[in-house]
Amino acid sequence: MLGLVLEGGGARGAYEIGACKALKELGIKIDGVVGTSIGAINGAMIVQGDLEKAYELWYELNPSKVLDVNDRVFNKVINKNIKTKDIPRLALKIRNIFKDKGFDTSRIRQLLEENIDEEKIRKSDMDFGIVTVSVTDKKPLELYKEDIPEGKIKDYIMASAYHPAFKPEKVDGKIFLDGAFHDNLPLKLLYDKGYRNFVVIRLYSIGRVRKVKDKDLEITYIEPSEKLCNTLDFTNDSARLNLKLGYYDTLKVFKNLKGRKYYLEPKNDEEFFLNFLLDTGEENILKIGKLLGIGDMPYRRMLLEFIVPRIIELLALDDNIGYEELVIALIEEIAQICDIERFKIYDFDSFHSLAMSSYNEHKEKPKNKIPKFVKRNEILSLAAKESIIEEVIFEMFR
């Protein structure tokens, strides 16, 4: 049996739905789903067979669909673009939140009412579980769908997502708190049902993560290739970006794609990429060595013993990285400079060709000259790494 574990993380939850879309397209069959907070909400829609509906909800999301806020003002707050004329409205909203002892949850409840179908969840062949914390009883609750009273699944899903900033409300006469305070990544729920094979989608949000110590587990982690948005950033731009990230990061895992910010089919040919680096040519390699403050020596030795390690350091790459990953990382720098479309699967040859044709159209020698003593000093050079890498790229790919 294959279990899907969804972490809590508020607005970051769009990443999970993007990932689940990719899992479905890859034909990966899920037998059970567990989640905390937004993971519980996403999980419910997956179990009831409404993944496409969940994707559409996130794709069309804006803050006012979740919280009692003005979209325009909320966007300014998130983007730290508050103007003097916005302050009175914002101050009034903050006063009302304190007066009500928290954010109003009526819009979240309305979303659950409109989109969670208890009958479908109970009839589904898939296992489903959530985590919440009973403040009244001072204990955590790890609940499977069969443990939840009839007619109460929406209430307990809401209980799993009770952020401390929300206005306190009761379910069955009790007050609950976000399940992240007990277990924000509830793999144990499926483990206790006999699952040993998991797909775990990480959001890296604040919350406790309890580990299962069984060494025989098979876990495939899907992790963001970049830091996700603030957990309260329910803006449309962030939701759509997270959907794409989740989708392509999942394809990267299951298709073994290369790249840090881009997505490339692997060549798996280290000799090809070593020769690619050597093809930079003796003259240009010596120029790069001079740029980096490296003394005279044979160019091959300079490239492999000094330039390559320095590039790895400047790009914050793993020390054990192969030549393929290194070359791709360098070309990714060009792709970012040229603003090449990121969310697409490339083969290396087309990616390299596109990057070079784009770079040749507008490249010019970097204007900001870095003093030699900065380039020679490892700590100082890291502070100026973007400018140094740009100079290296100019010489390597001219």
Active site residues: 37, 178
Burial code (b: 16+ CB inside 10 Å, e: under 16) for 247-257 equals bbbbbbbeeeb
Looking at residue 150, the DSSP 8-state letter turns out to be T
Dihedral of the alpha carbons of 210, 213, 219, 221, in degrees to the nearest 10: 40
Residue pair 31/2 in contact by the 8 Å Cβ criterion: yes
Burial code (b: 16+ CB inside 10 Å, e: under 16) for 294-321 equals beeeebeebbeebbbebbbebbeeeeee
Quickly tell me which residue has 């049996």 as its tokens: 1
Residue pair 284/303 in contact by the 8 Å Cβ criterion: no
Alpha helices (H) along the chain: 14-25, 38-47, 51-59, 71-78, 87-99, 106-115, 118-123, 153-160, 187-191, 236-255, 270-278, 282-291, 299-301, 308-314, 323-337, 348-362, 372-376, 378-383, 385-396
Cα–Cα distance measured from residue 44 to residue 114, given in angstroms and rounded to the nearest whole number: 13
Cα–Cα distance measured from residue 381 to residue 389, given in angstroms and rounded to the nearest whole number: 10
Q: Which long-range contacts (CB under 8 A, 24 or more apart) does 104-107 make?
A: 104/67, 104/68, 104/167, 105/158, 105/162, 105/166, 105/167, 105/169, 106/68, 107/64, 107/65, 107/66, 107/67, 107/68
Determine the Cα angle at 156 with ends 141 and 28, to 5°. Answer: 85
Cα–Cα distance measured from residue 32 to residue 45, given in angstroms and rounded to the nearest whole number: 12
Question: What distances in angstroms separate CA 102 from CA 38, 96, 135, one per listed residue?
Answer: 18, 9, 16
Cα–Cα distance measured from residue 317 to residue 354, given in angstroms and rounded to the nearest whole number: 23
Show the tokens assigned to 47: 């179990």
